Structure 1
Amino acid sequence: MTRPLFWKRLSKPRPLIAAALFAAALVGALLLAAVDGSFGARSWALVAGLVFGVALQRGELSLVRAWRDFLVLRDAGQLLGFLTALAVAAALTLGGLALAGAAQTPENARVGPISWLLPISAFVFGVGSVIARGGVMVHMRRLGEGSLVAAPALLATFGGFVLGVALWPWTWRIAIGDAPSPSLPSSFGFPGALTAQTAIILAIAAALWSRRPRPGPDPRSLATRLAVEPWPAPAAGALLGALVAASYAAGEPLGLIAECVIVARWIATALHLAPVALPGLDAGVGGLKAPLQGFEFTEHVVILLGFIIGACGAALSSGRFAVAGFTRREAAEMCLGGALLGWGAMTSLGAVTGEAIAGVAIGAASGWVFLGFASLGIIAALKLDWRTSVTAPPPEAHDAPEDLPPYLPSNPPAQPGDAGLRV
């Protein structure tokens, strides 16, 4: 089916439209600062969301894609991108705390409890992200890129969050309530925690180094490489890691889960699926606080909007914006995978950014546990997945920029029948 001419035009690189969108968002941040009386939580959240969305869209970071590329294409570029995010976030966060002479971790640090349920919920999260062809932040990125398939995935993810809230009294009583929350700084101090984590990250990177991508010389301009071409995953990972550290410095760990939990709790309570008082979520647990409240224009909402605007602007600039529909089968896959994603993220108290990267940034053992078992879930699901659109996606029938060569095989876009479902 032929797309309207308007959408076709937007699927070519449109840097001026993207610049106008970013400028409008920055004006919005200044207006929020004026309303709040200073450049505070909401204005910072909008800027952080913009940078977050740009980093994810330009680097196309996805833990599913990272493991798929490594297992199928023997390309470790995306995995090295995530390792770069971990390294930069830990170096800036733990290093900054050490230089500042901090005596303890920040009050809202993402140091989560480690119970017998965390490996299970992280594994389920990984399986769900394969079925849905991406995690929570991937679907938020798709929304900014114009892919309508993100809608059923995100709705189902909210359903999974509601299920997690409904089960929370049992989850808290049986698993999380008495679980320890170990962290490396509590045992080794900030310098020791940074040294230990850096050694772990370097050891993993050394094992993957021979599988790194080796692009040839690129004669195109720096502006084209920045605004149009996909960024190398380590570059996007470094930006993401720096943003996580900056968010800690601003007082609010980076993540997209907090507002999802707040809305899910409101829905579950309204439907009488959960009691009014929920231990842990009221006072906060693992750096996540989700009080029972109605919808408010908080910094958690603002960062979600900023993320979508940032991803949309980056997609417009690079010619990756394309409104695409989905089939009934894809909708069913998104619903199943999204429900698993939501329950896994709710029960794990976070996802890849908030639980893993922000957790590792502060030296939390829970971040490593989540990342490890989510990866195991992804690997297991990829091994069992029969869909070639996931395990070996074909070239894309996408209106590519006329003056640019096709995307590299390691970043294969999708066919029309796949509704643009890149992982």
Structure 2
Amino acid sequence: MTRPLFIKALSVPRPVAGLSVLAVGAAAAAALAAVDGGFGQRAWPLVAGLVFGVALQRGELSLVRAWRDLLMLRDSGQLLGFLSALAVAAVLTLGCLALLGASGPPVNARIGHVGWLLPISAFVFGVGSVVARGGVMVHLRRLGEGSLVAVPALLATFAGFVAGIAMWPWAYRTAIAPAASPWLPEWVGLAGALGLQIAALAACAAALWRFRPRRGPDPRPMSIRVLVEPWPASVAGGLLGALVAASYAAGQPLGLIAECATVARWLATAVGWAPAAMPELDAGIGGIVVPLPDGFGLTEHVVIVAGFVVGAFACALASGRFTLALFTARDMAEMIVGGLMLGWGAMTSLGAVTGEAIAGVAIGAASGWVFLLFASLGVVAALKLDRRAAVTHPGPDLVGPEG
């Protein structure tokens, strides 16, 4: 099919246009700050969403791609990028708390319950990430890049959230309420928790170091390397980790699932699949609040998701990576199955890679490590069983399940 001329035009690097989109986003944040009478309510989520989208699109960060690159290409660059995100987030968050002499975690800290259900839901999330060719943030990134396959994936993910809400009373009663919420600083202090986590991350980095990508000097102008060419995953990961720490400082831990969970709760309640009174969701649990809304508006959760897509679109426009990509019936089937697993896993785990794992590790929560471990096991197991050529012999263009 011949693409329309304006779509072809968007597929050519246009750095000025991309920067203009980001400037419009910044102006919108200033307008929200003026309307709200302060920067914190919705302006900060919009800025955070924009930066989040930039980091994910420029670094092409993806847990599935990270493990696929290591297993199939012997390239640890993406995994080192995630380690960079975890290390920067932990150093800035726990380090600042220690310097300030904090006696407890910040408000809405992502400290989840660690019971028998968390490893299962994290593993399901990991498997779903491979089936759907990416997690929640990857499909939102793809949406900003013009990939239409993200639409059925995100709709199915939302349906998975509805299923998770419908199961919430049972899950809370049998697995979440009886479980503890381990916070490492309670045992070894803030500095001790930071030291333990950095030691663990350093050990992982040492094991992966010999598989790191080796790049020679790049003679191209800095503007091309920043705006057009993909960033090293470690740079994008460091930016993501700094954003997670900044979000804690702003009192709004970074994540993308809260609005999905809120809308899913409204729908599940409206059709009678869930009771109006849901234990702990209104007051907040594991650092996430999922109220039953009377209506919907431009809340901070909507703003951060919109900012993420706009940030990813701006970078795709700047780098010439915006392309309307269609999908086949098989693609749709995979998106539906994988999306259902993603949504159920994220809702039951009360987070995904950024909100549960990175923000959890940043604050010293054992739940972050447990989710990351079992989600990775799910990804690796699914990759071992996935015999698609794009997985077993990925080409330099990284087409296929890069999520």
Indicate the larger mover: 19-28 or 87-96. Answer: 19-28
TM-superposition CA deviations, 1:139-161 (whole Å, max 9, x none): 00000000000000000000000
Structure 1 match to 2:231: 231
TM-score by length of 1: 0.94
The question of whether the paired residues in 2 share the 8 Å contact of 1:14 and 1:318 is answered with yes
Q: TM-score, normalised by structure 2?
A: 0.98
DSSP-derived class of the 1:214 partner: coil
Q: Which residue of 2 aligns with 1:284?
A: 284
Q: Does 1:413 align with 2:386?
A: no
CA distance in 1 between counterparts of 2:219 and 2:108 reads 46
Tell me if structure 2 keeps the 8 A contact 1:177–1:280.
no
Where 2:147 maps in the other structure, the secondary structure is coil
How far apart are the structure 1 equivalents of 2:341 and 2:387?
Answer: 19
What aligned pairs does 1:356-367 form with structure 2 within 5 A after superposition? Answer: 356-367=357-368
Alignment-mate amino acid for residue 137 of structure 1: M
1:346-365 alignment, distance < 5 Å: 346-365=347-366
| Regions of 4+ moved over 6 Å | none
How far did 1:107 drift?
A: 2.6
**Residue 68 of structure 2 corresponds to which residue in structure 1?**
68
Q: How does 1:221-300 map to 2 (within 5 A)?
A: 221-293=221-293, 294-300=295-301
Q: How big is the shift at 1:16?
A: 1.5
Task: Give, in whole Å, the separation in 2 of the partners of 1:27 and 1:132.
Answer: 35
> Conserved in 1, the CA contact under 8 Å of 2:123 and 2:377?
yes
Which whole-Å CA distance do the structure 1 matches of 2:286 and 2:38 have between them? 28
How far apart are 1:133 and its partner, in Å? Answer: 0.5
- Whole-Å Cα distance in 2 between the matches of residues 40 and 376 of structure 1? 37
User: Shift in Å at residue 242 of structure 1?
Assistant: 0.1
Aligned residue for 2:334? 333
Superposition map of 1:88-127 within 5 A: 88-127=88-127
**Alignment-derived partner of residue 406 in structure 1:** none
The equivalent of 1:51 in structure 2 is: 51
1:15 is displaced (CA, Å) by 1.1
The residue number in structure 2 matching 1:208 is: 208
How far apart in 2 are the matches of 1:48 and 1:335? 29
Residue type of the alignment partner of 1:315:
A
How far apart in 1 are the matches of 2:229 and 2:188?
A: 42
What does residue range 1-40 of structure 1 map to in structure 2 within 5 Å? 1-40=1-40
Q: In structure 1, what is the equivalent of residue 394 of structure 2?
A: 393
Deviation at 1:27, TM superposition (A): 0.8
What amino acid sits opposite 1:125 in the alignment? Answer: F
Any conservation in 2 of the 1:345–1:351 contact (CA below 8 Å)? yes
Alpha-carbon distance in structure 2 between the residues aligned to 1:7 and 1:16: 17
Distance across 2 between alignment mates of 1:38 and 1:125: 37
The Cα shift of 1:186 comes to: 1.0
Match in the other structure for 1:78: 78
Q: Is the 8 A contact 1:258 1:300 kept in 2?
A: yes
Q: Answer whether contact 2:283 2:289 (CA < 8 A) is retained.
A: yes
SS in 2 for 1:283: coil
1:295-339 per-position Cα deviation (integer Å, ceiling 9, x unaligned): 221111100000000000000011111011101110110000000
Report the Cα distance in structure 2 between the residues aligned to 1:271 and 1:66, rounded to whole angstroms: 39
Within 1, Cα distance between the matches of 2:391 and 2:27?
A: 39
* Structure 2 counterpart of 1:413, one-letter code: L
1:23, distance to aligned residue in structure 2 (A): 1.1
Query: Cα distance, 1:393 vs. partner?
Result: 2.9
2: distance between equivalents of 1:107 and 1:30?
25
Q: One-letter code of the match for 2:7?
A: W
- 2:153 is aligned to 153
Shift of 1:131: 0.2
| Residue 189 (structure 1) shift | 1.1
In the alignment, the residues of structure 2 paired with residue 24 and residue 135 of structure 1 have an alpha-carbon distance, to the nearest angstrom, of 28
Aligned to 2:319: 318
**1:41 alignment partner, SS class:** coil
Aligned to 1:220: 220
* Mapped partners of 2:398, 2:72: distance in 1: 15
Q: Which amino acid counterpart does residue 105 of structure 1 have in structure 2?
A: P
